[in-house]
Amino acid sequence: MTASKTDAPTVPTDLSLPPPAEYPYELGKYEWKVQTSSPEAERWFQRALNWTYGFHHEEAVRCYRYALHHDPNFAMAYWGVAYASGPNYNKPWELFDKAELRATLALCHAASKRAVELAEEPLEKELCEAIAARFPSSRAEEGGEKEFARWNQAFADRMGEVYEGHKADLDVTTVFADSLMGEPREVSQTLRVKEALDAALKRPEAMRHPGILHFYIHLMELSPTPELALVPADALRGLVPDSGHLTHMSGHIYAVVGDYRAMISSNFEAIAADEKYMAHAGADSFYMFYILHDYTFPIYAAMFNGQFGVAMKTLDRMEAWLTDDFLRIESPPMIDWMEGFCTFRVHVLVRFGKWEDILALPFPEDRGFYCVTTAFLHYGRALAFALTDRPEEAQREQQEFRDARTRVKPTRQAIPNTWSDIFDVADAMLAGEMAYRAKKYDEAFDLLRLSINRCDNLVYAEPWGFMQPPRHAYAALQLEQGNVEEAARAYAEDLGFLTTLPRATRHPNNVWALHGYHECLTRLGRQAEADMLKPELTLALAVADVPIESSCYCRKTACCASQSKL
């Protein structure tokens, strides 16, 4: 995304906003001591800071501007306007639309320049000069991606200098870590971030710092040892009660360690905070991306737990916000960012084998506008036809899916993946299932292995870009064909009992693979191992609200239904 030399909008000299008479949000007790003549300005700054650490950048900017109403010469409030308005961990420069980019560049340049002019306290002066290095101009030259990269690097370099002089300051550490954690990130940068955050966490007060805890979770969720972030995740949960995103963040660690019940409960707490916020502020800002993300976690966790009721009830609540009017907001272009949430119903219904429910789903009236939804529904319908022994209809829908995916607009986001990558997983999965129904077993398993490989190689995200692991279908059908050793290997990989997969692609404790692996061990005569696994399976089955008879409803000869009563 680029901005021309001549289209910078005018930014008002006075960035202050009159604050509301009442502010109903509980944002915890964390404060960063800053220089201001007004206690009211400081109160608004602390609110803004906690919103910033919780990635609610729009509300943070409003609060920084409320602070300026009480102290027009408040340097750190101007710093905050620039810091929270610019690119961030989840939204780099290239994902700003043109109108948004022009306005953001002008605002950030003006605010950071004013911050430098006003700052007097030495550390604040350094911080303001660092943020000004990120916004040296109100315009970017054509071909601005490289220029933006230079600006980001200049900011990171300056924050590195600030950090070296103030390593004990947890807020400096947070902003420094943030400056290095965008994508792409060099290994050396990751190590430097880890070193800084590890050092910070040795200080007892770090367990009460929302920024340190937040970025540590993001750092560790992709690591080989995410369990090291469990205590920080627990500490962050509820630390800033009305920040839905911060309450949700613990779920990123619960997901990769397989604590799906905690993943559900923490995100129900987050959703309660989100719904409180939306009741007061409405649901028409980019922060809705984060709010909808919070709904996806109970859905995803419930899929691994075998909890159809939880998944569907949460899905219904999420879809209530996905109105056509909301998705047609043009700046930021909500449909580009949010349409992926419209595909979740198909994911859930496939997971639980609700084939007729899939076939009953209506297509959107405007298929061109809802191009991702349309393509993914064709995939679901093709799978449903195949698994209800209607091969001709399945072949027709398969072709419709392949045609529809070519019409998906390139602006549609599946961050951090692309829709093409996700559809590639679906295409191989569908083709494998169809070949299996045609009794072309070698071809079927080759295609399912291709789907597994493509799914494993998606870029890390929670929920995963393709929500039902293809390994579950592959292993279930291998079992159906009597290939028990191969099925056992696939289940052991999925559960993390084998360490052949990267940590983030394993799904420990999920009821589907536990059931399948227990069946494999029993059929292989490995009874001692089966007995060791049984308590874990029994616990998982107690949580499920559907009978678990196979790891995939694509398997027609389900085994061991009595195990659901263990």
Sequence spans of domains, the chain: 1-166, 192-318, 322-468, 486-566
**CA–CA gap between residue 541 and residue 546 (Å, rounded):** 9
* Residues listed for the chain: 566
* 530-543 average pLDDT score: 98
User: Helices 470-480 & 441-456, crossing angle to 10 degrees?
Assistant: 160
**CA–CA gap between residue 252 and residue 222 (Å, rounded):** 10
**CA–CA gap between residue 287 and residue 492 (Å, rounded):** 38
pLDDT tier, 8 (very low <50, low <70, confident <90, very high otherwise): low
Q: What angle do CA 488, 494, 497 make, to 5 degrees?
A: 70
The tens digit of pLDDT for each residue in 397-407 reads 999 999 999 99
Gyration radius (Cα) of the chain, Å: 25
The architecture that CATH gives domain 1-166 is Alpha Horseshoe (1.25)
CB atoms within 10 A of CB 328: 12
Angstrom CA distances, 213 to 41, 173, 191, 246, 412, stand at 26, 11, 17, 9, 31
**CA–CA gap between residue 311 and residue 466 (Å, rounded):** 16
Mean pLDDT (the chain) is: 95
In the chain, the percentage of residues whose pLDDT exceeds 70 is: 95
Question: What does the pLDDT read at residue 310?
Answer: 99
Number of helices and strands in the chain (H, E): 26, 0
The tens digit of pLDDT for each residue in 513-535 reads 999 999 999 999 999 999 999 99
Q: Select the more confidently predicted residue: 361 or 146.
A: 361
* 105-125 average pLDDT score: 97
Asked if 181 and 218 count as a contact pair (C-beta separation under 8 A), the reply is: yes
Among residues 196, 248, 218, 257, the alpha carbon closest in space to that of 88 is found at 218
Asked if 298 and 264 count as a contact pair (C-beta separation under 8 A), the reply is: yes
Question: What does the pLDDT read at residue 387?
Answer: 98
The two tokens of residue 107 are 């605002």
* 359-365 average pLDDT score: 98
**CA–CA gap between residue 199 and residue 193 (Å, rounded):** 10
**CA–CA gap between residue 104 and residue 9 (Å, rounded):** 9
Written as one letter, the residue type at 477 is L
Among residues 502, 503, 493, the alpha carbon closest in space to that of 472 is found at 493
Q: Which residues contact 382 (CB under 8 A, 6 or more apart)?
A: 394, 395, 397, 398, 400, 401, 430, 434
Give yes or no for a cis peptide into 184 (omega within 30° of 0): yes
Question: What does the pLDDT read at residue 186?
Answer: 67
Q: Select the more confidently predicted residue: 97 or 474.
A: 474
Within this chain, domains 1-166 and 192-318 share the same CATH topology: yes
CATH no. for 192-318:
1.25.40
